[in-house]
A and B are shown apart, each in its own frame.
Chain A
Amino acid sequence: MTQAAIKTTGLRKSFGSNQVLKGIDLEVAEGTIFALLGPNGAGKTTMVHILSTLIRADAGLGTVAGHDLAKEPDAVRDAIGVTGQFSAVDNFLNGEENLMLMADLRHLSKANGRKRTAELLSRFDLVEAARKPVATYSGGMRRRLDLAMTLVSSPRIIFLDEPTTGLDPRSRRTMWQIIRELVADGVTIFLTTQYLEEADELADRIALLDHGRLIAEGTPAELKRMIPGGHISLEFASVEQLQAASAMLGGSQKDTDALTLQVPSDGGVGSIRDLLDRLDRGRVDVSSLTVHTPDLDDVFLALTGQPDGERATVS
C-alpha cells in the first residue's frame, strides 16, 4: 500500500453557528485522483481551504505530504499547488508576468523561471495572449492561466476546486487531459466537482460530501452499484406506436399523455443500439430519444432516500 498523500481525522469547521464540516475522515493515496463531490454549500471549498492551509480547522487532524497542517504549514505549502474555485491571478499583470511572479515566489532561478514560463504558456495555449493584460482574458483562458500558475513549481500534490465549472465541453476535455497527464507523472490530485460524470471520468476514489459529512466513499464502480440505473426516454408520434413499444419492452413505464416511454438502461452505446434494433425489428418508429444518466441528485436520492433538505446520514 502506498503512503497517504493526504489524511484527515475528525476535521471540523464552523463559521459562527454554521457547522460546515462535522468531522471528516479521509485518506488519499499518493499518485491518485480523489474527487470530492457535493452540491452548493456542502463544504467542498472549505475542505480545500483547510487542506491548503488557507484557513485553520477548528478541530481534528490533517496531514498533507506527511506534514501536519497546524504544525508545519510552510512544509505543506512547499509541497502543494492550489487552483481555487475563484480566479487567483493578478489582474493588473499580463499572463507571462503572472507566471514569472510565481516562479520568483517559488524561488526558481531567473533562467529556470523563464524556461518554465515559456513551457507552460505553450502547454496551456496562451502564447499569443502572454503579453496581454489578464483583465482582458476570457473565463477559459483565465482558468488555464490559473492552473499554469499552480504548476510553475511542479508540486507533488495539487488541489483543484471545481476546475471545469464554467468551461465549454472542449476546454473541459482539455482540462481532463491535463489532469491525467499530471497523474501519469505521479502527482496526487484532490479535486472537487459538482459533476458525477467528471468524477467518474477522472477519479480513482470518490467521496460524497453533504451537509458537512461524507455520506459515501469508494471507487466509481462501488458508488455506481449504490445508484439505481439511469433510463432512456423514448417519444412517439402516436398512441399506437407507444402501445406497441410498451408491449415489446418489459419493465418500462409509459406516459400516454406525453407519448413517452421510460426504459431502464445504463445509458451505454451498446444498450442504446440494442434497444433501437429491437424497436426497428418490431417496426416501431421513435420520434426522439433522450438518455438520462444518473446525476448527483440520483446519488443523493439513492443514498439518503430524500432529494433535498435534511438528509439522514448513511455512512
Chain B
Amino acid sequence: MSTLSYAVRDSTTMLRRNLKHILRYPVMPLMLIGIPVIFLLLFVYVLGGTLGAGLGGASGRAEYASYVTPGILLITVAGAAQGTAISVAMDMAEGIIARFRTMAIFRPSVLTGHVIGSFIQTMAGLAIIVGVAMLIGFRPNATAIEWLAAAGMLAMISFAVIWFSVACGLVTKSVEAASNLPMPLILLPFLGSGFVPTDSMPSGVAAFADYQPFTPVMETVRGLLLGTGIGHNAWLAVAWSVGITVVCYLWAKKLYNRDPIR
C-alpha cells in the first residue's frame, strides 16, 4: 500500500476510535449545544428588544434574532474548540498514546482522528443551533446555493479553530490549562460584529473588531443567509481560515512529534 492509503486508513481507524469515545463519554456535546443555546435565548429574549431597536429602522426582537444568529454560530465553533482541546489533552495523558508512538502508523493520524471527530460534532452542533434559532425567529432568505456556501464558510472556520485547539491541547501540560487556553475565542464574536455592528463601538475596540478573523466570517455568513452586503469579507474569511489551518496544523504536528514528557 502507498503512504497515502496508509494515511487514510490510519486516520479512519483513529476517527473510529474517537467516535466511540464520544458516544460513550459525551463531554463535548454538552458544551457544544448548551452554551450557544443559553446565549441565544439570553440575547433574543432578555436583550433582544433593546438591541434590536438599536439596529435602526423598524427593527425589534425578531430582527435581532436574525442578526445575532451568525454570532451565536461562531460561539458554537469557539465552544467546540474548548471541547477539542480538552479531549486532546485528556487523550495525550493516556498510556496508549505512548504505544501509538512505537508503532509504524501515519503519525498525524492520532491528531486527524481528533480533528475529524470534532469536526463532525461541530457541524452537527451548528445544524442544531440553526434549527433552534429558526424556532425563535431567525428568518433566513437564502437560496440552496447560499445555504451551501454558508455551510462551507462555517466548515472552513471550524476546521481552522479545531486545528488551533488541537495545538492548544498538545502544548499545555494539564487538562485544566488546555480548557482555558481557547477560552478567549468565546469573546471574539462579542468583540466583532456578532452581537452589535462594529461601527457602534469605540474606535479602539472597533479597529480590533474589524481586523479579527471572526468578523469577516460572521459578515459572510450573515450576507449569505440574510442578504446583507458581503463585500471583501468573503475573501478575508477564506484567507483567515486557510491561514489558521495551515499554521496550526504545522504547529500541532511539531508539538506531537517532539519527545513526550511524562
Q: Are A101 and B102 in contact (CB under 8 A)?
A: no
CA distance in complex: A133, B94 (Å) = 15
Q: Are B13 and A88 in contact (CB under 8 A)?
A: no
Give the chain B neighbours of A55 by CB distance below 8 A.
Answer: 259-260
**Cβ of B173 under 8 Å from chain A:** no
Interface residues of B in 1-45 (CB under 8 A from A): 1, 6, 9-10, 13, 16-17, 20-21, 24-25
Give the chain A neighbours of B21 by CB distance below 8 A.
Answer: 92
CA distance in complex: A82, B96 (Å) = 11
Q: Are B99 and A84 in contact (CB under 8 A)?
A: yes
Chain A, residues 53-76, CB within 8 Å of chain B (1/0): the string is: 111100000000000000000110
Q: Are B20 and A92 in contact (CB under 8 A)?
A: yes
Q: Are B17 and A90 in contact (CB under 8 A)?
A: yes
In the complex, what residue of chain B is closest to A56 when comparing beta carbons?
B259
- Knowing A55-B260, A56-B259 touch, does A104 contact B99 (C-beta < 8 A)? no
In the complex, what residue of chain B is closest to A159 when comparing beta carbons?
B102
Give the chain A neighbours of B9 by CB distance below 8 A.
Answer: 104, 107
CA distance in complex: A86, B262 (Å) = 11
CA distance in complex: A105, B101 (Å) = 12
CA distance in complex: A91, B91 (Å) = 10
Q: How far is the CB of B94 from chain A (nearest CB, A)?
A: 7
In the complex, what residue of chain A is closest to B107 when comparing beta carbons?
A74
Q: Are A89 and B96 in contact (CB under 8 A)?
A: yes
Interface residue tally on A, bucketed by range: 20 to 34
CA distance in complex: A82, B95 (Å) = 12
**Cβ of A168 under 8 Å from chain B:** no
- Knowing A82-B99, A106-B103 touch, does A91 contact B94 (C-beta < 8 A)? yes
Give the chain B neighbours of A149 by CB distance below 8 A.
Answer: 99
CA distance in complex: A86, B6 (Å) = 28
Main secondary structure of the interface of A (DSSP, over half): loop
In the complex, what residue of chain B is closest to A97 when comparing beta carbons?
B20
CA distance in complex: A55, B259 (Å) = 5
Chain A, residues 93-116, CB within 8 Å of chain B (1/0): the string is: 100010001001111000000000
Give the chain A neighbours of B17 by CB distance below 8 A.
Answer: 90, 93, 101
Which of A77, A78, A87, A107 contacts B95, CB < 8 Å?
A87
- Knowing A80-B102, A90-B96 touch, does A105 contact B13 (C-beta < 8 A)? yes
**Cβ of A52 under 8 Å from chain B:** yes
Q: How far is the CB of B176 from chain A (nearest CB, A)?
A: 20
Q: How far is the CB of B116 from chain A (nearest CB, A)?
A: 16
**Most chain B CB within a 10 A radius of its CB, from A52, A87, A105, A107:** A105
Q: Are B102 and A77 in contact (CB under 8 A)?
A: yes
Q: Are B95 and A53 in contact (CB under 8 A)?
A: no
Chain B, residues 168-192, CB within 8 Å of chain A (1/0): the string is: 0000000000000000000000000
Give the chain A neighbours of B25 by CB distance below 8 A.
Answer: 92
Which of A74, A75, A97, A105 contacts B100, CB < 8 Å?
A105
CA distance in complex: A75, B94 (Å) = 25
**Cβ of B142 under 8 Å from chain A:** no
In the complex, what residue of chain B is closest to A84 when comparing beta carbons?
B98
Q: List 28 A-B contacts (CB under 8 A).
A: A53-B101, A53-B102, A54-B101, A55-B259, A56-B259, A77-B102, A77-B103, A77-B104, A78-B104, A82-B99, A84-B99, A86-B95, A88-B96, A89-B96, A90-B17, A90-B94, A90-B96, A93-B17, A93-B20, A101-B13, A101-B17, A104-B13, A104-B16, A105-B13, A105-B100, A106-B103, A107-B6, A149-B99
- 17 additional A-B pairs beyond A75-B104, A90-B17, A91-B94, beta carbons within 8 Å, are A54-B98, A54-B101, A54-B102, A55-B259, A55-B260, A77-B102, A77-B104, A84-B95, A86-B98, A87-B95, A88-B99, A89-B95, A90-B96, A92-B24, A93-B17, A97-B20, A105-B105
A-to-B contact residues, CB < 8 Å: 52-56, 74-75, 77-78, 80, 82, 84, 86-93, 97, 101, 104-107, 149
B-to-A contact residues, CB < 8 Å: 1, 6, 9-10, 13, 16-17, 20-21, 24-25, 94-96, 98-105, 259-260
